[in-house]
């Protein structure tokens, strides 16, 4: 059960993850999506976000993917979380080293594109598209590619390094940030955005074990 607190969630009286995602509406450009704890950590002791996530957070992630044209993730996250081809959206995997081994999605036949400054070893059976991008600014090439494919709503689910590069490129329009457990009264949510201090908080909702925020830039 989700409780609408303010902003878009409150305006639409969202009571579950589906309604919360729909209340966020459509977007153009990059919307980042992350779950973190109240100390700003993005990973649990196993180096995964799964230990921080909740049932409603996972449901929200799935719904946000359905609303996106393209899901973007870094290779390390795709490997540790064992990403597979996403049925509702195209998947972009970014690697500074050109390593994409150990990622199930790379074995898909279509629906996945790889981005790196290096050409990965050739797999004759692979039908995956590979796009060369500069390591210091991968979003320059990635966004040009997305525009050429008419992919407008981009959901970034990556770790902190690629996320910071996205903010550096000035292409992030929104951030959906889930904070676990629920943030207690009196704590300023504005202090819990680890990526930018210039965002406007446009939606807040909560469950028994999480706070859901949406930021606009």
Could you give the domains of the chain? 3-216 (3.40.430.10)
Helix or strand holding residue 154 (H, E): strand 153-156
Predicted local distance difference test score (pLDDT) of residue 125:
53
Nearest residue to 105 (alpha-carbon basis) of 96, 118, 95, 119 = 95
Quote the pLDDT of residue 126.
Answer: 63
User: Is the preceding peptide bond at 181 cis, omega within 30 degrees of 0?
Assistant: yes
Calculate the CA 58 to chain-centre distance: 12
Model's pTM, two decimal places? 0.95
Long-range contacts, stretch 82-88, CB < 8 angstroms, 24+ apart: 84/108, 85/111, 85/112, 86/111
Task: Calculate the average pLDDT of the chain.
Answer: 95
pLDDT band at 123 (very low <50, low <70, confident <90, very high): low
pLDDT of residue 43: 87
Chain centroid to CA 155: 5
DSSP symbol at 91: E
């Amino acid at each position: 059960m989700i409780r609408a607190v303010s902003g878009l969630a409150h305006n639409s009286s969202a009571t579950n993850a589906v309604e919360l995602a729909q209340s966020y509406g459509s977007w153009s450009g990059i919307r980042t999506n992350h779950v973190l704890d109240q100390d700003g950590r993005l990973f649990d002791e196993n180096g995964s976000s799964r230990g921080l996530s909740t049932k409603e957070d996972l449901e929200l992630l799935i719904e946000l993917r359905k609303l996106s044209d393209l899901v973007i993730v870094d290779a390390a996250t795709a490997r540790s979380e064992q990403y597979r081809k996403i049925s509702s959206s195209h998947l972009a995997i970014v690697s500074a080293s050109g390593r994409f081994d150990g990622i199930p999605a790379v074995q898909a036949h279509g629906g996945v594109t790889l981005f790196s400054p290096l050409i990965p070893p050739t797999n004759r059976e692979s039908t995956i598209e590979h796009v060369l991008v500069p390591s210091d600014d991968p979003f320059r090439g990635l966004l040009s590619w997305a525009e050429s494919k008419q992919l407008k709503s981009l959901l970034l689910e990556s770790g902190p390094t690629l996320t910071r590069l996205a903010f550096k490129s000035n292409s992030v329009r929104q951030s959906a940030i889930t904070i676990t457990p629920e943030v207690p009264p009196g704590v300023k949510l504005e202090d819990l955005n680890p990526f930018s201090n210039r965002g406007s908080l446009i939606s807040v909702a909560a469950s028994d074990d999480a706070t859901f925020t949406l930021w606009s830039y």
